[in-house]
A = this chain, B = another copy of it.
């Protein structure tokens, strides 16, 4: 039997939900590699497997397949298979996936405003041996 990638359980399986109502969403939307995939699909539109592979770079086909299956199962992307030769498969964002756009924009906005503050905080923390 092949390992069932469709029932793959995200990293947050130990239920931190008890304390945090947004943990489920985080597991769905922000697990590893999902944001680059969604972002690429969003900015470049419908794409084939190899296009995604090339654009995201450093991702291996195995992992890309796993994540695409997961995103498809969660209804965030749509997979269309064309039984041609050579086979052609296209991926695109679903309507549910598109509903994440303002959220991503919000995130990008926060990043633009505050990422350097995080960098500064890290630098301060690392170059201040006295307080610890």
Contact = CB atoms under 8 A, between A and B. Distances in A.
Nearest to A55: B19
Interface residues of A, number: 56
A120 to B, nearest CB: 7
A26 B30 contact: yes
Interface string A13-46: 0111011111111101010110110011000000
B108 A96 contact: no
Contact of A74 (B11, B75, B102, B122): B122
Interface of A: 6-7, 11-12, 14-16, 18-26, 28, 30, 32-33, 35-36, 39-40, 55-59, 72-76, 96, 99-100, 102-104, 106-108, 110-111, 113-115, 117-118, 120-122, 124-126
17 contacts: A6-B125, A16-B33, A16-B35, A18-B36, A18-B56, A20-B35, A20-B36, A20-B39, A21-B39, A25-B107, A25-B110, A26-B35, A28-B118, A73-B122, A73-B126, A74-B122, A96-B121
